[in-house]
Structure 1
Amino acid sequence: MKAIIPVAGAGTKLRPHTYTQPKALIPLAGRTILSIIMDQLVEGGIKEFVFVVGYLGEKIQHYVESKYPDLTCHFVQQNSREGTGHAILLTRDIVQNDEMLIVLGDTITECNIKEVIESPYSMLGLKKVDDPRNFGVAEIDDNGNITRVVEKPQIPKSNLALVGLYKIKESQQLYQCLQDNINNKIKSHDEFQLTDALECMIQHGVRFSPFKVSNWFDCGRKDTLLETNAILLKKYKLASNPVLPYENTIIIPPVSIGEGCNIKNSIIGPNVAIGDNTVVNYSIVKDSIIGSFSNLYEVVLKSSLIGSDANIRGLSQSLNIGDNTEIDLG
């Protein structure tokens, strides 16, 4: 089985960070979005990955090859962003007749991934949501089989949202439906959607079984990213290293502090993730993500997302600062 991870999106909802950093590599609870996804799949037994890359794709490739040298990884370029359906179709020559596990590169789910992989049927991950209009939605019959899927319906007939995790046994049928949709210009919301191809498979008799996820984290926006960071910090029970206390500094767990950081005269936490080699002095930081090689001096940050190589002086309450930025708020 091969895992397909589309990571070609520009991440417009997380700009300015995604001007210089792929969304999948944004730090999260001491790791990255992509590493959390990949580690889960590796634990489930996946050893071969196919990445659909585009914007800043070379950074994705360098990260994967350096962090996971023992895995078999392929990289496919999506030059024009025409939707997830178009992205998946580009993997056809690599996957061929193998079963596949498709995992969207900006969502983190918690489920029994090994059980999903070993299922004799194709499966779609689902979770109940309050407002399903912003998601792909699945309808289920009395026997528990998925009878219909639709992308972002205006009038949903179900509150079961597709969470971005798909196990496909009939790979050639999926590719054929994707190709037919593109040939016939069948789009939803101006893009070729994976959901439409899944609906094509259902109409041609392919059986899809649902599986529920215990948690589903959407990392596509600043507010949900910070919320996810807080949840995962608590889950991983991360805290600063008690063997290396920071000068005149109070650490309020849970926090994650990278290697080589110089922190003093500050209060850090709760729910803070700081990248490697960052300097923090005379500052208060809570509920925030700070990138690597940044410099914070005399600032108060809460609910903030700060990129790498950022320099901030002065006082602030809530910021959304990209990489290579210098700000003096004094």
Structure 2
Amino acid sequence: MKAIIPVAGAGTKLRPHTYTQPKALIPLAGKTILSIIIDQLEEAGITEFVFVIGYLGEKIQHYVQKKYPHLTCHFVQQNVREGTGHAILLTKKVVGDDEILIVLGDTICEGNIRELIASPVSQLGLKKVDDPRSFGVAELNDAGDIMRVVEKPQIPKSNLALVGIYKIKETDQLFDCLERNMTEHRRSHDEFQLTDALQCMIEHGVQFTPFKVSNWFDCGRKETLLETNAILLSKYKVPANPMLPYENAIIIPPVSIGEGCNIKNSIIGPNVAIGDNTVINYSIVKDSIIGSYSNLYEVVLKSSLIGSDANIRGLSQSLNIGDNTEIDLG
């Protein structure tokens, strides 16, 4: 089985960070979004991955090859972003007739992945949500099978959202449906959707059953990203790098602090993730994510997302700042 991870999106909802950093590489609970996904799948036994890259794709490729040299990794370029269906279709030659597990690169799902891989039928990850209009939605029949999937319906007939993890046994039929939709210009919300291809497969007799997802973290927006960071810091019990001396500093867990950081005269935490080689002095930081090689001096941050190579001086309360930024709030 091969795992396909589409990571070609521009991450517009997380700008300005995604101008210089792929969304999948934003730090999260001492890791990155992408490394959490890969580690989860590798632990379940998957050793071959196909990454659909595009925007800042060379950073994705460099990161994966450096961090996971022991895995078999393929990189497929999506130069024009035409939707998830188009992204998956580009992997056809690499996939062949193998079974596949598709995991979207901005979503972290928790469940029994080994059980999903071993399923004798195709499965789609589902989770009940309060407002499913922003997601693909699945409807079940009386037998509990999935009888219909629709992308972002205005009037949903179900509150079961597709959470971004798909186990497909009938790959030939999947690619046939994707090609048919492309040829016939069948778009939903102006894109070629994977959801539409799955519905095509259902209409041609392919059985899909639900895969129960215990937890689902959507990392596509600042608010949900910070919330996910807090949850995963507590869940993973990430150490704050106790080998480093922090002069006159108070660390309130859960906190993740990268290598080479210089922190003094500050209060850090709770729920803070800090990248490598960042300097923080005379500051208070809580409920935030700070990138690598940043400098914070005399700032008060809460619920903030700070990119890499940022320089901030002065006082603030909540910021959303991208890479290579310099701000003086004094």
1:140-289 map, 5 Å: 140-289=140-289
Matched, 1:52 2:40: no
SS at match of 1:45: coil
SS at match of 2:66: helix
2:276–2:292 CA contact under 8 A, matched in 1 = yes
| Matches of 1:222 and 1:317, distance apart in 2 | 15
Letter in 2 for 1:38: I
SS at match of 2:205: coil
Matched, 1:120 2:108: no
CA offsets per residue over residues 42-79 of structure 1, 9 Å max, x none?
01110100000000000000000000001000000001
The corresponding residue for 2:319 is 319
SS at match of 1:220: coil
Aligned length: 330
Letter in 2 for 1:247: E
| Matches of 1:321 and 1:242, distance apart in 2 | 28
The corresponding residue for 1:82 is 82
| Matches of 1:236 and 1:44, distance apart in 2 | 18
Question: How far is 1:243 from its partner?
Answer: 4.5
Q: Which runs of 5 or more structure 1 residues have no equivalent in the other structure?
A: none
| Matches of 2:240 and 2:45, distance apart in 1 | 31
Letter in 2 for 1:123: Q
Q: TM-score, normalised by structure 1?
A: 0.99
SS at match of 1:166: strand
CA offsets per residue over residues 148-198 of structure 1, 9 Å max, x none?
000000111100000000000000100000000000000000000000000
Q: Which runs of 5 or more structure 2 residues have no equivalent in the other structure?
A: none
| Matches of 2:108 and 2:186, distance apart in 1 | 28
Q: TM-score, normalised by structure 2?
A: 0.99
| Matches of 1:189 and 1:241, distance apart in 2 | 45
Letter in 2 for 1:12: T
| Matches of 2:104 and 2:75, distance apart in 1 | 15
| Matches of 1:154 and 1:312, distance apart in 2 | 43
Question: How far is 1:211 from its partner?
Answer: 1.1
| Matches of 1:264 and 1:291, distance apart in 2 | 17
| Matches of 1:154 and 1:55, distance apart in 2 | 30
Question: How far is 1:251 from its partner?
Answer: 0.6
SS at match of 1:154: coil
SS at match of 1:202: helix
Question: How far is 1:96 from its partner?
Answer: 1.1
Question: How far is 1:242 from its partner?
Answer: 3.7
| Matches of 2:289 and 2:189, distance apart in 1 | 32
Question: How far is 1:245 from its partner?
Answer: 3.8
Which runs of structure 1 show a deviation greater than 6 angstroms over 4 or more consecutive aligned residues?
A: none
SS at match of 1:211: strand
| Matches of 1:277 and 1:17, distance apart in 2 | 18
Percent sequence identity over matched residues?
Answer: 83
| Matches of 1:263 and 1:110, distance apart in 2 | 33
